Amino acid sequence: MDGNPSPAPAKVCASGEARRPPRVLELFCGIGGVAAAVAGRAEVVAAVDVNRHALAVYRHNFDHPVVAATLESLPAARLAAWEADLWWLSPPCQPFTRRGLGRDLDDARARSLVALIDRLARLTPPWVALENVPGFRGSRAHALLRRTLERAGYHVAERLLCPTELGVPNRRRRFYLVAGLEPPLPWPDPAAAP
């Protein structure tokens, strides 16, 4: 990667008008896996994480704004100001793993997610996506997120997926949740993977 991914090209609607690429807010961004995945397809408007070492790698590879902060310290107005179409969440997985003792919401590392769930209910971005370990499904955090999204009018879909099911050579089963104010898009069909 040269550190300067191409901006997403404008799409043309059926009416002939140019449509801007989707705007993504990458929360709990780590080193930028989502930014790399959407390069050329969407515009990352900002990335937020508390880990300064991960953010150093992120800044080396991407030019969009990066914020070093806990999500509970960011005012709702700042999140709203980015005008993102999609909030992508990759919160710490340790609270939902056996090695992390499955402390769920009792783990201090879950505080930012809880604060963010509260903001989701008030700010209602058009789309929300979350990825985490399989143990997230069935956790109290999962129940809180799902209940909050549904009460706010979101359509919620979720699934456990392994990248190998989609033709990507990476064996790492993950939990994915996609929520939209419009009905969610269909999941990729693993049988149709290359």
Dihedral sign of CA atoms 149, 155, 161, 163 in order: negative
How sure is the predictor about 98, in pLDDT bands with cuts at 50, 70 and 90?
confident
Higher pLDDT, 1 or 171: 171
> Tokens in use for 144?
């809180």
Give the list of residues 6+ apart from residue 41 with CB closer than 8 angstroms, or none.
Answer: 8, 21, 22
**Domain locations in the chain as residue ranges:** 18-186
> What is the percent of the chain with per-residue pLDDT over 70, rounded to a whole number?
86
Among residues 138, 140, 131, 113, the alpha carbon closest in space to that of 172 is found at 131
Contact 96, 144 (CB under 8 A): no
pLDDT digits (tens, 9 = 90+) for 55-69: 999 999 999 999 999
What does the pLDDT average to over 14-35?
Answer: 87
Alpha-carbon distances of 144 from 13, 79, 153, rounded to whole Å: 37, 20, 14
Catalytic machinery residues: 93
pLDDT digits (tens, 9 = 90+) for 120-174: 999 999 999 999 999 999 999 999 999 999 999 999 999 999 888 877 788 889 9
The domain defined by 18-186 folds into Rossmann fold (3.40.50)
pLDDT recorded at residue 38: 95
pTM of structure: 0.85
How sure is the predictor about 4, in pLDDT bands with cuts at 50, 70 and 90?
very low
pLDDT recorded at residue 183: 85
pLDDT recorded at residue 3: 46
- Provide Rg for the chain, Cα atoms: 17
